[in-house]
Amino acid sequence: MKETINLKILTPEKELYSGEVVEIKSENEFGSFGILPNHVAMITVLRPAITVFKEVSGKVLKIFTSTGILKVEGNIISIMCQAAEWPEEIDLTRAEESKKRSELKLAGKGNLDNDEIRAELSLTRALTRIKIKRN
């Protein structure tokens, strides 16, 4: 049995990571989950999260991943998401401003319309970026 997983993290603009890892943790609509080598095949929808993975060397890496799809087939994991950023790439001031704008949009809203749903998703992305940048 194979003891590593080939991980690729892709956005529409670029490939952010490609390498062998021994585990990965991320989040979907049901909460946090982890994947180890020889995991059952699956496809899941990701929500904005701090995705954490451990390289074969033992080095632990963290990356912000936005909404997207995670696919496991064999010992290959493909993460295809709208945006992904390493902590050092995140503009904390921009994330905090986005958080404030989203909170203002959500204040006083009574029903879920498309603008409110987008504002909630924007707030989740901003909070996740702030969290990974500060840790």
Q: What is the tally of structural domains in the chain?
A: 2
The DSSP-derived string for 1-37 is: ----EEEEEE-SS-EEEEEEEEEEEEEETTEEEEE-T
Whether residue 102 has pLDDT greater than 90: no
Six token digits for residue 58: 């033992």
> Do 68 and 118 reside in the same domain of the chain?
no
> Do 100 and 130 reside in the same domain of the chain?
yes
Q: What is the mean pLDDT of the chain?
A: 91
Number of other residues whose CB lies within 10 A of the CB of residue 98? 18
- Domain coverage including residue 53: 5-85
Six token digits for residue 2: 């194979």
3-state secondary structure of 1: coil
> Do 57 and 71 reside in the same domain of the chain?
yes
> Do 103 and 124 reside in the same domain of the chain?
yes
pTM to 2 decimal places: 0.82
> Do 96 and 44 reside in the same domain of the chain?
no
If one compares 31 and 113, the residue with the highest pLDDT of the two is 31
**Mean pLDDT, to the nearest integer, of 86-106?**
89
> Do 12 and 55 reside in the same domain of the chain?
yes
Phi, psi (degrees; rounded to nearest 5) at 101: -60, -45
> Do 76 and 101 reside in the same domain of the chain?
no
Nearest to 5 by CA among 54, 46, 43: 54
> Do 30 and 63 reside in the same domain of the chain?
yes
Helix 92-106 crosses helix 114-134 at what angle (to 10 degrees)? 150
Nearest to 89 by CA among 1, 7, 14: 14
> Do 43 and 74 reside in the same domain of the chain?
yes
CA atoms of 134 and 15, how far apart (whole Å): 24
CATH number at residue 123: 1.20.5.440
Q: Which of 59-63, 73-77, 93-97, 98-102 has the lowest mean pLDDT?
A: 98-102
Confidence of residue 111 (pLDDT cuts 50, 70, 90): low
Whether residue 109 has pLDDT greater than 60: no
Tens-place pLDDT, residues 31-73: 999 999 999 999 999 999 999 999 999 999 999 999 999 999 9
> Do 119 and 56 reside in the same domain of the chain?
no
CATH number at residue 69: 2.60.15.10
Tens-place pLDDT, residues 4-16: 999 999 999 999 9
Domain end, chosen from 50, 69, 85, is at 85
pLDDT computed for residue 72 by the predictor: 98
